[in-house]
Amino acid sequence: MASTQLAALRLQPLQASAGVPLSQCRKHVYTGVYMPGQKAYNAPLAVHQILRLASLQSPPQQLKEGSKSLLGSRSPSSHRQPRIRATASDAEPAAPSNLIGVHWLTWAGGLSEEECRKAIDGSAKLGYDLVEVPLGDPDAVNVPLTRRMLQEANMAATASLGLLPHADVSSDDSEIAAAGEKLLEEAVKVAAGIGATIVTGITYSALHKYPSGPTVAGRRNSVVALKRIAARAADSGIEIGLEVVNRYESNLINTAAEAMELLSEIDHPGVMVHLDSYHMNIEENSAAEAVQTCGDKLRYVHIGESHRGYLGTGSVDFPALFAALAAARYRGPITFESFSSRVVNPQLSNTLCIWRNLWEDSEDLAQHAKAFIDEKWNP
């Protein structure tokens, strides 16, 4: 079947949702197909996104058992139980399953061919749906290789980065702010090239400990840059995420409420909020309240323990977080993130204050995390 025919086939159920309130659209399509932030389903973007994803099928072929559809959900194979567990009513179709992901740095600290194979194939072997690719240095990514390996493994992808002190869109210095915007633009291009649909992380400031709070001029620079980046990213069907991090990694967004304030200033439907259990455990009074604060602007979630190690061995209240996500009918990706000085390169280890080996065996850690999420997450 030709890619255009396949796209048209996939469009049929989506066209029926045109004009339906966003809350109803969430029951029918995976988040990211419609333009986030709008009150109605955005059919033109859906057409663009599906055609773009269809073009990645090379050559076009019938979906195999255990493979992913164009919208990113994996059809259950004989050894993998479907994650869809319930429907709102007999008259409504089942809600789509959340994509369960794992961060690249769980497996490898670089982007060589060997490291690509380890991260992508290792994630697929354990039943993950997507892998989050680090784009701190976009030039280090072999785009054709990464894209091909993702396709061969039937893996979806997201991308993330933290801006740098000399490339910071929230800087008062116009040259530094411009360098930050350029880095974001390069990251979006690479993300589009490998087939990712989300670029998230500390996209609004540098990833480091600031000596003072944000300035009015710096905040304005960040808002203006992100508005421009979001417009360019939307042309490639990519959403921009604002990851809420702790006070030692940014001075601009440390809570869900602050993220929503910046989001309203950016005022672009292609920008969304990204919450992380590790950071919420430091800054938020309640993870459940943070989820409620974001509402349908929450499009991406990181699952990480308080010490960045094995899930369930620290102080994060995962049952409360998962209950809040279920109550909010969250349908976006849920991605496991963990760091150890054994894998993470020294520069990033210093930035993230990863001073000890929290784990040695990447596969054992990732396998444990997958089982933990599958057990606890029951929307």
Q: Is the pLDDT at 213 greater than 80, yes or no?
A: yes
What's the Cα-to-Cα distance from 362 to each of 28, 86, 223, 341, rounded to whole Å? 35, 33, 37, 12
**Average pLDDT in the 312-319 region?**
96
Q: Is the pLDDT at 332 greater than 90, yes or no?
A: yes
**Average pLDDT in the 218-224 region?**
98
pLDDT for residue 349: 60
pLDDT confidence of 346, banded at 50, 70, 90? low
* Percent of the chain residues topping a pLDDT of 70: 70
What's the Cα-to-Cα distance from 102 to each of 159, 215, 235, rounded to whole Å? 11, 35, 26
Higher pLDDT, 262 or 35: 262
* Distance between CA atoms of residues 311 and 10, nearest Å: 37
pLDDT confidence of 350, banded at 50, 70, 90? low
Amino acid at 254: N
> Which candidate in 243, 249, 284, 305 is catalytic?
243
pLDDT confidence of 20, banded at 50, 70, 90? very low
Q: Which helix (H) or strand (E) holds 100?
A: strand 100-103
Is 243 part of the annotated catalytic residue set? Answer: yes
pLDDT confidence of 340, banded at 50, 70, 90? confident
- Lowest average pLDDT, out of 98-102, 310-314, 356-360, 366-370, goes to 356-360
Q: Is the pLDDT at 358 greater than 60, yes or no?
A: yes
pLDDT for residue 9: 33
Can you give the pTM of this predicted structure?
A: 0.75
Given CA atoms 277, 282, 283, 284 in this order, what sign does their dihedral have? positive
- The candidate with the shortest Cα–Cα distance to 281, out of 311, 305, 253, is 305
The DSSP result for 124-146, as a single string, is HHTT-SEEEEE-SSGGG--HHHH
**Average pLDDT in the 18-33 region?**
36
**Average pLDDT in the 29-51 region?**
37
Note the pLDDT tens digit of each residue in 131-157. Answer: 999 999 999 999 999 999 999 999 999
> Which candidate in 181, 239, 305, 337 is catalytic?
337
* Distance between CA atoms of residues 191 and 61, nearest Å: 24
pLDDT for residue 109: 87
Q: Is the pLDDT at 66 greater than 70, yes or no?
A: no
The tokens for 368 are 């444990």
Is 283 part of the annotated catalytic residue set? Answer: no
pLDDT confidence of 36, banded at 50, 70, 90? very low
